[in-house]
Structure 1
């Protein structure tokens, strides 16, 4: 996945400030230092991946490194470290698997229901039973259509709550909510998009790389809460 998004591992010699901040937050979180990578893009974003602390990776964009001060960078790294400590990647993988299973079962059920509606029926003596079966098939078809939508909405809602949780945990690690607030404001004000980013990885970033689309769509289908709402919650912690 890292190679797909163009992430490259860095060393203390090349990125001393970033490595130092990650080491500080690893110590605060009580987890091993994760692998550290940088995406060479002017966009402002960061991410964490890995199913546990030993396999974890934290990545930031070049634009983020060049734009944020140390306190803001610390807030972002603490947020990503929180995802690792809270095992959010594993949690969201399990949720995504469940949603995928629901979608698969619903698709199969929908095809069965459609086929039943197309070929169902019978003689007059079976008219009552056929009518009841028809009603049952219609209900099942409606359920099969709505279930994947409901499951997707649930996955998005869970993702948004994990973002709020990571923000709160980051404040516990840094004891400085204003650092993360400043970082989020700069990320929100940036007009540089993440190029060629798949929807499949949008949930791992601190800010949805597809947020320009999501601003026009329903917030219910977004993997991230609006940044202004995250800022408001963080300010209440200060």
Structure 2
């Protein structure tokens, strides 16, 4: 809980600090207070708009894109076990019962999504049900329930919104400055070069923003692993990750929900900076080396 509060405060202080710098640069380059406000409002609307809309429709999109079947009435013993296990874990984590679904895919995978901790979806692949033992599957479910309990979907949407806003504003501020020096016209409106510069800067700053977002994403995977260990047991969580490392292939999950799957983390060099998941070997090592008191205190309610 304290870590989440500290992250929230640090993020807001960073936003205020950056916006103060941006305002100063804009005023130094001929923008009025009114223009500053318009730019920041434009950036905030477009920066947060897409992230928040994606968050609000995340469950609907996940069901539609994966063809997941939501279990309303269990059709067999396997579905009964899935629902009962998620219900028990949700109660232990202090959240409302998520919807439970199964989607058809050969890979061993699962994901959680939804607009809030009390309005979520936990889904598993048919490949997971076929290939994993009940203990391993229980740990995977606990990992996904921990994502929900930790508020990871909302956190990632807010972080993405802040980063989108930074990219929009910084690209235009830097573009204005560069265009002014190149053209020598610091008083008049921007020329065609300004729009070319902004287009390039949007891509460059967007790449760096993606790296930051993926760093947060990798961090939350370690927390969800520890949360899964709390709910299901460390040995079960380690066994589940080891099974994933033995059978892992390229994920078939749609892009919209791939970052919330339990599988991932294959890449080197620059690609590693853009991974949503740490390598499974690192996750296993971190979980084995974590003090038990740290494991016990990971899931927040």
Q: Is the 8 A contact 1:106 1:145 kept in 2?
A: no
Of the three residues 207, 212, 215, the one matched with 2:263 is 207
Tell me, yes or no, if structure 1 residue 67 matches structure 2 residue 120.
no
Residues 147-186 of structure 1: pairs in structure 2 closer than 5 A: 147-174=205-232, 176-186=233-243
- RMSD of aligned Cα (Å): 2.8
Q: Deviations over 1:159-179 (max 9, x none)?
A: 1111111111111112x2121
Distance 1:194 1:222, change over 3 A: closer
Contact 2:108 2:248 in 1 (8 A): no
Structure 1, unaligned runs of 5 or more: 123-136
Higher mean alpha-carbon deviation, 95-104 vs 185-194, is at: 185-194
Distance of aligned partners of 1:167 and 1:197 in 2 relative to their CA distance in 1, 3 Å threshold = same
- Please tell me whether the aligned partners of residues 106 and 148 of structure 1 are also in contact (alpha carbons under 8 angstroms): no
Q: Relative to structure 1, is the Cα distance of residues 197 and 144 closer, same or farther in structure 2, using a 3 angstrom cutoff?
A: closer
1:177-201 per-position Cα deviation (integer Å, ceiling 9, x unaligned): 1212121122222254333632x43
Say which SS state the counterpart of residue 4 (structure 1) adopts. Answer: helix
Aligned residues: 217
Corresponding residue to 1:222 among 275, 284, 298: 275
Asked whether the equivalents of residues 109 and 125 of structure 2 are also in contact (C-alpha less than 8 Å), the reply is: yes
Structure 2 vs 1, CA of residues 190 and 31 (structure 1 numbering), >3 Å: closer, same or farther? same
Q: Distance in 2 between matches of 1:158 and 1:192?
A: 23
How far apart in 2 are the matches of 1:53 and 1:196?
Answer: 22
C-alpha distance in structure 2 between counterparts of 1:78 and 1:121, whole Å: 59
Deviation at 1:118, TM superposition (A): 3.7
Of 36-45 and 143-152, more deviation after overlay is shown by 143-152
Q: How far did residue 149 of structure 1 move?
A: 4.0
